[in-house]
C-alpha cells in the first residue's frame, strides 16, 4: 500500500480519508475536485501535499481579479485528473483496489503523454513539447506517493 490512500492521522487521533472537495477562496472562487485528507471525527482537513503548491500558485495568480470563477482542479492538473477519474465509482471498492487502479491509470497517463511528447518532438513543435513537459512534471510531483513507481519518469 502506498502513502496515497493511507492518509495521516489527524491531531485528534482519528484516521483521515482521501476525498475530493470544493474549496472556496475569498467567497468568489470555487475550486472543485481538490484532493484533501478529511478527518472522520472533527472535519479538520489538509490539501494533499504534492497538489498544495499548485493550488497556492493558482490562487496567487487569480488574486486581485474581480471576476467570480468556478474551476475544476481536475481539468488543470494531470495528477488530479487521474485521481478524479479513479475515485469516480470507487465506493464499492477496497482501498487496495482503488490504489491498484490509481497506479494503473497513472502509468497509462504517463505513457500516453510520453507518446504525445514523441510526436511533438518529431514535429519540432516546441510549444507543444513544453506543454506536455509541464503535464508530465505535474505527474512526477505526485509520483512520490507511489514509491514502487519512483523510477518511471526520467528526463
Ligand atoms: Zn480530527
C-alpha–C-alpha distance, residues 72 and 152, integer Å = 27
Amino acid 17: pLDDT: 83
Q: Which residues of the chain have pLDDT under 50?
A: 1-2, 149-155
| Residue listed under C-alpha cell 495528477 | 79
Would residue 13 count as lying in a domain? yes
**Nearest CA-CA partner of 128 in 140, 120, 137:** 120
Q: Quote the number of domains for the chain.
A: 1
Amino acid 60: pLDDT: 85
Would residue 155 count as lying in a domain? no
Would residue 100 count as lying in a domain? yes
Measured in Å, residue 47 CA sits from the centre of ligand 1 at 14
Amino acid 142: pLDDT: 80
Measured in Å, residue 39 CA sits from the centre of ligand 1 at 5
Would residue 9 count as lying in a domain? yes
Measured in Å, residue 7 CA sits from the centre of ligand 1 at 12
Length of the chain: 155
Helices 78-87 and 126-142, axial angle in degrees (round to 10): 60
Amino acid 151: pLDDT: 42
Cβ neighbours, 10 Å, residue 154: 5
Measured in Å, residue 31 CA sits from the centre of ligand 1 at 23
Measured in Å, residue 109 CA sits from the centre of ligand 1 at 34
Amino acid 147: pLDDT: 54
SS3 percent helix, strand, coil of the chain, rounded to 5, is 50, 20, 30
Cell numbers standing for residue 97? 483496489
Secondary structure class of 100 (helix, strand, coil): helix
Domain that residue 76 falls in: 3-145
Would residue 98 count as lying in a domain? yes
**Nearest CA-CA partner of 31 in 77, 64, 66:** 77
Measured in Å, residue 20 CA sits from the centre of ligand 1 at 17
Measured in Å, residue 30 CA sits from the centre of ligand 1 at 24
Amino acid 99: pLDDT: 82
Would residue 150 count as lying in a domain? no
Amino acid at each position: 500500500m502506498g502513502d496515497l490512500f493511507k492518509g495521516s492521522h489527524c491531531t485528534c487521533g482519528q484516521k483521515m480519508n482521501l476525498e475530493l472537495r470544493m474549496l472556496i477562496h475569498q467567497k468568489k472562487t470555487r475550486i472543485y475536485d481538490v484532493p484533501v485528507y478529511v478527518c472522520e471525527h472533527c472535519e479538520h482537513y489538509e490539501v494533499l501535499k504534492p497538489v498544495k503548491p499548485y493550488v497556492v500558485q493558482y490562487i496567487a495568480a487569480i488574486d486581485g481579479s474581480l471576476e467570480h470563477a468556478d474551476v475544476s482542479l481536475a481539468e488543470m492538473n494531470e495528477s488530479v485528473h487521474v485521481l478524479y477519474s479513479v475515485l469516480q465509482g470507487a465506493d464499492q471498492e477496497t482501498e487496495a483496489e482503488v490504489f491498484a487502479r490509481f497506479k494503473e491509470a497513472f502509468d497509462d497517463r504517463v505513457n500516453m503523454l510520453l507518446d504525445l511528447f514523441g510526436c511533438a518532438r518529431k514535429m519540432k513543435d516546441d510549444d507543444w513539447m513544453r506543454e506536455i513537459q509541464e503535464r508530465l512534471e505535474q505527474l512526477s510531483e505526485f509520483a512520490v506517493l507511489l514509491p514502487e513507481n519512483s523510477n518511471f519518469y526520467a528526463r
